[in-house]
């Protein structure tokens, strides 16, 4: 008997799986967004567009933005230090640091190397990883790199740290209200409360000029809006198809636990019913709502005999013979499936849009801000045991749909309980931001435009407007070297580590392997501590 060396997608010999660390995924997650925002309703009036164009048409309420005091490195410095302080994690327990971003301030030097200055006091320079760039997909590629490292022969037992960050700005016009800014840091390791489901990634990559940044001296992209939407939706269709084929193959081979094995036998088809939550990359909230509707359209067209008399497919038989590739801009199809999927959207996706609705598009961190929004608005008991579908898209274009398995352990003090508790202040942080007028927002955009890539420059934005503990740009010298300082945690006392307000006390997280040292948090220096992006 000849044994074929080829296997079905998603299959691996049991001996390989047995050698892998268990439940590799996200252990801790931190979000940073700017301290100031503009109301989209006021921006509509300021821009002279019809009321509801941004708030209803795009589904956006507020948009966060950065002054000239913040750049991609300062955003990443802030979110990394915040995660380390709130987790009580020592810098020498990190063995890989990946940054996903499309906000490029240097064509050679990575933002990751700037972050290494946070590791200096620990003496840890043995940290792999650099920046990954492909529009909004870079954060997901960085996360996959981290997960793959932990599951590889290169893993030395330490954690991986992934940072996704961007400043999304557009020239004045119809695209400007789809901007935003922020960063997300994720701690990756084994025995995670959010574990990646192995073998369940559906990826689609293709060439397109839907959104790109060919002008190296400008922050603004070139955008083909209609093509961008078509690319996004077509990638979603293809990724979902590949994902379903892979999970169906796993079900046939009985690789899932009894809880996850479909109860209706091997003829069970993967559908939206198999996801407790679905989160998407969110350029704007309305597109996400349409994307969930599109997954239902896929379920409907792939079903051999859908019930159009009752249930979610009720009244949809008129669309039975449509071709999926002809429906990207079909208003009748869109309207019908938005209505059909309304309950699923309320239950599975709406909660994920908190940060997107209130802060805007963060580019690479967008989909992970959506994940954080789900965690922040549900209890550990509501999340336990659920499958979370994640769709990540980056223009140009690259996309993946994958799934995360939430641990069933929701007991007090569990890893899931700690993760959820760490995000319980998310709404309060959004509410604590400073509202500015559209005129002030436009002035800030003009200042960024005029000073982008400028050497021998001192930023003008007021430091006191930043959140306590925020890293900010102090100087760009004549050689384009950047220097940063950190705002104190309070106006009355010097900067210290571990003083960021949290819903729970900071707790030291040991390294995954006992052989790694367990060193408590160190105290940071006084305000005015300066770090730079170094020499070339």
* Residue from 30, 102, 219, 496 carrying the catalytic annotation: 102
Among residues 5, 7, 10, which one has the least CA distance to residue 245?
10
Determine whether the annotation assigns residue 418 to a binding site.
no
* Residue from 44, 281, 285, 370 carrying the catalytic annotation: 281
- Return the DSSP state at 530: -
CA angle 418, 420, 426 (to 5 degrees): 125
The per-residue b/e assignment along 54-63, b for 16 or more CB within 10 angstroms, e otherwise, is bbeebbbbbb
CA–CA dist 245, 269 (Å, integer)? 9
Strands 194-205 and 398-406: antiparallel
337: exposed, middle or buried (Cβ count in 10 Å: 0-12, 13-18, 19+): buried
Q: Quick check: 76 and 167 in contact, CB under 8 A?
A: no
CA–CA dist 25, 21 (Å, integer)? 10
Element (H, E) at 197: strand 194-205
Q: In the numeric block, which tokens belong to residue 42?
A: 């006021």
Determine whether the annotation assigns residue 226 to a binding site.
no
R_g of the chain, CA atoms, integer Å: 23
CA–CA dist 425, 229 (Å, integer)? 33
Determine whether the annotation assigns residue 286 to a binding site.
yes
Among residues 295, 292, 397, 402, which one has the least CA distance to residue 353?
292
Active site residue 281: yes
* Residue from 76, 136, 270, 285 carrying the catalytic annotation: 136
Active site residue 136: yes
Active site residue 197: no
Among residues 262, 275, 269, 264, which one has the least CA distance to residue 245?
269
Catalytically active residues, by annotation: 102, 136, 281
Detail the residues annotated as belonging to a binding site for CoA.
Answer: 228, 286, 290
| Residues flagged as binding site | 228, 286, 290
């Amino acid at each position: 008997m000849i044994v074929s060396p080829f296997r079905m997608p998603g299959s691996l010999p049991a001996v390989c799986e047995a050698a892998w660390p268990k439940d590799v995924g996200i252990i801790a997650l931190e979000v940073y967004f700017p301290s100031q925002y503009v109301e989209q309703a006021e921006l509509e009036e300021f821009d002279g567009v019809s009321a509801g164009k941004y708030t209803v048409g795009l589904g956006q309420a507020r948009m966060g933005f950065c002054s000239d005091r913040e750049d991609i490195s300062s955003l990443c410095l802030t979110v990394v230090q915040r995660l380390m302080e709130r987790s009580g994690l020592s810098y020498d327990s990190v063995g890989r640091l990946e940054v996903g971003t499309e906000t490029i301030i240097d064509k050679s030097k990575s933002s990751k190397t700037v972050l290494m200055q946070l590791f200096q006091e620990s003496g840890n320079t043995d940290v792999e990883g650099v920046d990954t760039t492909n529009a909004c997909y870079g954060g997901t590629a960085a996360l996959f790199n981290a997960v793959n490292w932990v599951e590889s022969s290169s893993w030395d037992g330490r954690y991986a740290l992934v940072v996704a960050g961007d400043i999304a700005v557009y020239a004045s016009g119809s695209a400007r209200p789809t901007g935003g800014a922020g960063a997300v840091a994720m701690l990756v390791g084994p025995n995670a409360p959010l574990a990646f489901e192995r073998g369940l990634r559906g990826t689609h990559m293709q060439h397109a000029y839907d959104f790109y940044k060919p002008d190296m001296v400008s922050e603004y992209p070139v955008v083909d809006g209609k093509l961008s939407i078509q690319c996004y939706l077509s990638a979603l269709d293809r990724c979902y198809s590949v994902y379903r084929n892979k999970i169906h193959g796993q079900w046939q081979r009985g690789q899932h636990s009894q809880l996850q094995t479909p109860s209706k036998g091997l003829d069970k088809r993967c559908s939206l019913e198999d996801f407790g939550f679905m989160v998407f990359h969110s350029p704007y909230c309305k597109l996400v709502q349409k994307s969930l509707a599109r997954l239902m359209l896929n379920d409907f067209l792939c079903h051999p005999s859908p019930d159009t008399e009752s249930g979610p497919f009720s009244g949809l038989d008129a669309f039975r013979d449509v071709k999926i590739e002809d429906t990207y801009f079909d208003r009748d199809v869109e309207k019908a499936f938005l209505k059909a999927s309304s309950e699923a959207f309320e239950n599975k996706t709406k909660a994920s849009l908190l940060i997107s609705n209130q802060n805007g598009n963060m580019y690479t961190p967008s989909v992970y801000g959506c994940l954080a929004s789900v965690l922040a608005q549900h209890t550990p008991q509501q999340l336990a045991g659920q499958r979370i579908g994640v769709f990540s898209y980056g223009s140009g274009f690259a996309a993946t749909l994958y799934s995360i398995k939430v641990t069933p352990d929701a007991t007090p003090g569990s890893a899931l309980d700690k993760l959820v508790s760490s995000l319980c202040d998310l709404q309060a942080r959004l509410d604590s931001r400073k509202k500015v007028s559209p005129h002030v927002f436009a002035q800030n955009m003009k200042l960024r435009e005029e000073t982008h890539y400028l050497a021998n420059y001192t930023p003008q934005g007021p430091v006191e407007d930043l959140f306590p503990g925020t890293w900010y740009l102090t100087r760009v010298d004549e050689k384009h070297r950047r220097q940063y300082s950190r705002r104190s945690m309070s106006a009355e006392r010097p900067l210290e580590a571990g003083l960021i307000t949290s819903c729970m006390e900071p707790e030291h997280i040991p390294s995954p392997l006992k052989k790694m040292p367990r060193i408590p948090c160190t105290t940071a220096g006084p305000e005015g501590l300066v770090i730079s992006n170094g020499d070339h």
